[in-house]
Amino acid sequence: MTKSYFPEESTTFTRNIELLRGHRVAVLGHRRPDGDCIGSQVALTRVLNATGIESLAVNIDPVPRTLKAFVGDTPFFLAADLPAGEFLAVSVDCADHARVGDSVRDRFPNVLLNIDHHVSNTLYGETNLILPEACATGEILAGLFFDNELAVDSVAAQALYLGIATDTGQFCYSGTTASVFDICRRLCELGASPSQAAHELYECEKPGRIQLLQRFLASFRMEHEDRVCIGSITDDFYEETSTTPEDAENFVDYSRSLDGVEIGSLLEERNGQLKGSLRAKEHRYRVDLLAKQFSGGGHACAAGFNVERKLEDFYPEFVTAIGEHLRQVDAGGLS
Ligand SMILES: [Mn+2]
């Protein structure tokens, strides 16, 4: 007998596939889609089509440039271009219904099946397959497909691999278990190519993004005996490098990556607004509480906030707040 990944959920999944039969299906993803979202949409849409259920993927935002290669000939539609008529809706990687975007939610007020790995999922589907222990929605789908012996073609295999590789930070985060590698091994046997995925994701940068990164790295200021690193980006950086704020995605991770740095931060000045991102190496730092001081929030190790301030005017106050936070943590004052 072959291994079963998600026995209980796989039964629920099969039952739902039968409910979809005879209908057209829209596979919904979230706003500003990432690798796991696009990968999950590609895979589910293809697997459903292969079983004779006419399906297409729907997003409110376009597929990002670096992810286009993973879509292949999968039918993808922007919400505005969606053909008329009835569809049953299935969502993937969307923690709440609003995440699909307002116009998509209005078009699909009922979600038949909600498949996701976010612990915060609001269970808005008629059926909810939520597995917070899964590292990616791609891992859930791969397990469900394997358990049900559904045909996964090479494009779907690569798409599922994409979701797992990106949501685990290239197999670095704590959700990266033996089972994740087992699923990826099977995806490789079905045609997934880790080197091709890495090429598309990390070796097709546009020059402007590297120039933007160069400027961001040059902006680093070390504070509090080098325990804190703060980088900044201002509007003119984007203009000079022909980039947009989306190109600075994940830049904050560089500020945390330095040896000895415990809290990294990115301050982004856009249109007179300041967007702050905070990252800590350890949970005891609670950057969510720091962000809260500026009306933001998030998780212990990753948080953000927005303030209507100028960068240089805000900076000293920000550094002082982080210093006070470090003193509290050092004194054992936070749990
Ligand atoms: Mn995900």
Alpha carbon of 247 to those of 240, 271, 322: distances in Å? 13, 16, 26
Q: How far is the CA of 259 from the centre of ligand 1 (A)?
A: 28
Please report the pLDDT score of residue 2 as a whole number: 66
181 plus 273 within the same structural domain: no
Q: Decide if 335 is inside a domain.
A: no
User: Last residue of a domain, which of 202, 232, 253?
Assistant: 202
Band of residue 242 on the pLDDT scale cut at 50, 70, 90: very high
Q: How far is the CA of 70 from the centre of ligand 1 (A)?
A: 16
Q: Rounded to an integer, what distance in angstroms lies between the CA atom of residue 293 and that of residue 318?
A: 10
Q: How far is the CA of 136 from the centre of ligand 1 (A)?
A: 5
Instruction: Give pLDDT tens digits for 182-228.
Output: 999 999 999 999 999 999 999 998 999 999 999 999 999 999 999 99
Q: How far is the CA of 95 from the centre of ligand 1 (A)?
A: 9
Instruction: Give pLDDT tens digits for 140-165.
Output: 999 999 999 999 999 999 999 999 99
Band of residue 174 on the pLDDT scale cut at 50, 70, 90: confident
Longest pairwise C-alpha distance within the chain: 65
Q: How far is the CA of 129 from the centre of ligand 1 (A)?
A: 14
Q: Decide if 30 is inside a domain.
A: yes
**List of residues 6+ apart from 25 with CB closer than 8 A:** 48, 53, 54, 55, 56, 87, 88, 89, 90
User: Last residue of a domain, which of 185, 202, 219?
Assistant: 202
Q: How far is the CA of 295 from the centre of ligand 1 (A)?
A: 26
Which residue pairs from 149-152 have beta carbons closer than 8 angstroms and sit at least 24 positions apart in sequence? 150/47, 150/50, 150/51, 151/47, 151/50, 151/51, 152/43, 152/47, 152/187, 152/190
Please report the pLDDT score of residue 335 as a whole number: 55
Q: How far is the CA of 43 from the centre of ligand 1 (A)?
A: 14
190 plus 217 within the same structural domain: no
Instruction: Give pLDDT tens digits for 252-295.
Output: 999 999 999 999 999 999 888 999 999 999 889 999 999 999 99
- Coil/strand/helix, residue 334: coil
Q: Is the dihedral of CA 62, 68, 70, 73 positive or negative?
A: positive
% pLDDT > 90, the chain: 86
Range of the domain at 257: 207-330
Q: Decide if 1 is inside a domain.
A: no
Arithmetic mean of pLDDT, 322-326: 97
Q: How far is the CA of 93 from the centre of ligand 1 (A)?
A: 5
% pLDDT > 70, the chain: 99
Question: Of the candidates 124, 163, 167, 169, which has an alpha carbon nearest to the alpha carbon of residue 145?
Answer: 163
Band of residue 249 on the pLDDT scale cut at 50, 70, 90: confident
CB-proximal residues (5 Å) to ion ligand 1: 36, 93, 137, 167
Q: How far is the CA of 100 from the centre of ligand 1 (A)?
A: 14
17 plus 143 within the same structural domain: yes
Arithmetic mean of pLDDT, 242-247: 88
Q: Rounded to an integer, what distance in angstroms lies between the CA atom of residue 27 and that of residue 113?
A: 10
Arithmetic mean of pLDDT, 31-55: 96
Q: Decide if 2 is inside a domain.
A: no
The tally of domains found in the chain comes to 2
Please report the pLDDT score of residue 130 as a whole number: 96
Q: Rounded to an integer, what distance in angstroms lies between the CA atom of residue 171 and that of residue 257?
A: 17
CATH, residue 271: 3.10.310.30
Please report the pLDDT score of residue 60 as a whole number: 96
Instruction: Give pLDDT tens digits for 45-88.
Output: 999 999 999 999 999 999 998 999 999 999 999 999 999 999 99
**List of residues 6+ apart from 178 with CB closer than 8 A:** none
Q: Rounded to a whole number, what is the distance in angstroms from the first to the last CA of the chain?
A: 46
